[in-house]
Structure 1
Amino acid sequence: MTPKRGYTDNVDQYKKRVFSKIKGYLTGSTLLDAGCGDGSDALIMLPYFKKICGFDIEKNSAWKKAPKKISFKTAAAEKIPYKSLSFDTVYEKDMLHHCSDPFKAIKEMARVAKKKVIIIEANRYNPLFYINLTLLNNHQHFTKKKFRAVVESAGLPFTISRFSARVCPINNRFIIDCFDSVENFLDRFPPYSPIIEYNLAVLEKK
């Protein structure tokens, strides 16, 4: 299990960019990756935690290659199989919109968290995401209003921010770096805010 997981440079850069947006919020020594998929996000965050657990609705063959510090379970987010306050940080990316009951799922994430819950969800009305994921692949991404409603339902203090991130369509190092610079500009360009790619919420337990 290598840090890049065999990903091409453009996909690897995308993952690193997303991680850079949450790095400052990682807290404590234990992490739960909710809806972990192949476990690649857990692997990226491994240097920051002593122990990481992940779960997903379906088992992934890549889990077998995980380092000893990472363990996985098959479970639904609406019924997380861990005791309350089990993890310092709980994290999810693009999982909640797949849940049959995202309100219950985020409450479960808050239940098992000691300190922070980090939520990353795609913006439904980003034009490329809407065409490729919502219309063509039936991903029911949240509107900004729905995203806030789900986050508020957890009953914890929170902040919401937004950022630009997508996979560069051309796998060339120079073009990837230019693409990343454009995304940095879009992060700070107010007219782009309504259609920016990602919503990020950080919930804190006092």
Structure 2
Amino acid sequence: MIKIVRPKKKAKMSLLDVGCGNGFFTKPFSRIFKTKGVDFSKRMVSLNPVKNCEVQDANNLKEKDNSYDIVFCSNLLHHLDSPEKAIKEMKRVSKKHIILSEPNRNNPFMFLFSLIRKEERGALKFSLGYLKKLCRSQNLKIVYGRTMGSIVPNKTPKWLLPFMKLVDNTPVLGFYILVIAQKKKRNDR
């Protein structure tokens, strides 16, 4: 994912983690990028080990236009009434790239999880096609898109890894959807 968006020059890029939560992604990103995290939950911001985090609404970011090389958002959009608004805001504050990851409704386990947990029901809308459609509705160009992943990487038992690689390469079974989009240039359609 990082190889796709990182330029050849080694300058430290900036990244905004929207919906940063407890720092699952913010912390590792902070080793590579100049990172800031934002989350609607004051409690989650307090749990995040990265110091540069604050409470913000994804639908109304306080950041300046074109202020981050990369805007990253994982497992947030399916909780929002209007994910389009949040993507529009991410586009506004991004210089170029927006990376989005959401649960894959087509994965049988994610589907069941979404049925069982009321707060996860929004995930039932999210397929690769739907996430791409949301990006295109905000005039973003899709650079990369696929389903991927199995169990959370650091929690997957070693004996399951060969099976998980098979799952990872079977589009319907991937636990998550990953889309990398970018702002269109004037000559892009």
List alignment gaps of at least 5 residues for structure 2. 7-11
Instruction: Looking at secondary structure, tell me which structure has more helix per residue.
Output: 1
- What is the CA deviation profile of residues 116-160 of structure 1, one whole-angstrom value per residue up to 9, with x for unaligned ones? 11011111121111112x111121111334222212112121131
Instruction: Please give the alpha-carbon distance, in whole angstroms, between the structure 1 residues aligned to 2:25 and 2:87.
Output: 19
- Higher relative CO (Cα under 8 Å, sequence separation at least 6) belongs to 1
Runs of 4 or more consecutive aligned structure 1 residues displaced over 6 Å after TM superposition: none
Q: Could you say which residue in structure 1 is the equivalent of 2:9?
A: none
Task: Choose which of 153, 156, 180 in structure 1 pairs with 2:137.
Answer: 153
Q: Aligned residue pairs: how many?
A: 172
TM-score, normalised to structure 2, is 0.82
Q: Give me the identity figure in percent.
A: 28
2:29 aligned counterpart, secondary structure: helix
How many Å apart are 1:26 and its aligned residue? 4.5
Q: Could you say which residue in structure 2 is the equivalent of 1:33?
A: 17
How many Å apart are 1:104 and its aligned residue? 0.9
Q: Could you say which residue in structure 2 is the equivalent of 1:176?
A: 157
- What is the CA deviation profile of residues 26-74 of structure 1, one whole-angstrom value per residue up to 9, with x for unaligned ones? 535110000000123111111211x2111111112224x43xxx41121
Is residue 163 of structure 1 aligned with residue 143 of structure 2? no
Amino acid at match of 2:116: L
List alignment gaps of at least 5 residues for structure 1. 1-21
Q: Could you say which residue in structure 2 is the equivalent of 1:202?
A: 180
On the 8 A contact 2:128/2:146 being kept in 1, the answer is no
Instruction: Please give the alpha-carbon distance, in whole angstroms, between the structure 2 residues aligned to 1:203 and 1:151.
Output: 7
Q: Could you say which residue in structure 1 is the equivalent of 2:116?
A: 136
TM-score, normalised to structure 1, is 0.75
Instruction: Please give the alpha-carbon distance, in whole angstroms, between the structure 1 residues aligned to 2:175 and 2:138.
Output: 23
1:195 aligned counterpart, secondary structure: coil
Instruction: Please give the alpha-carbon distance, in whole angstroms, between the structure 1 residues aligned to 2:181 and 2:47.
Output: 30
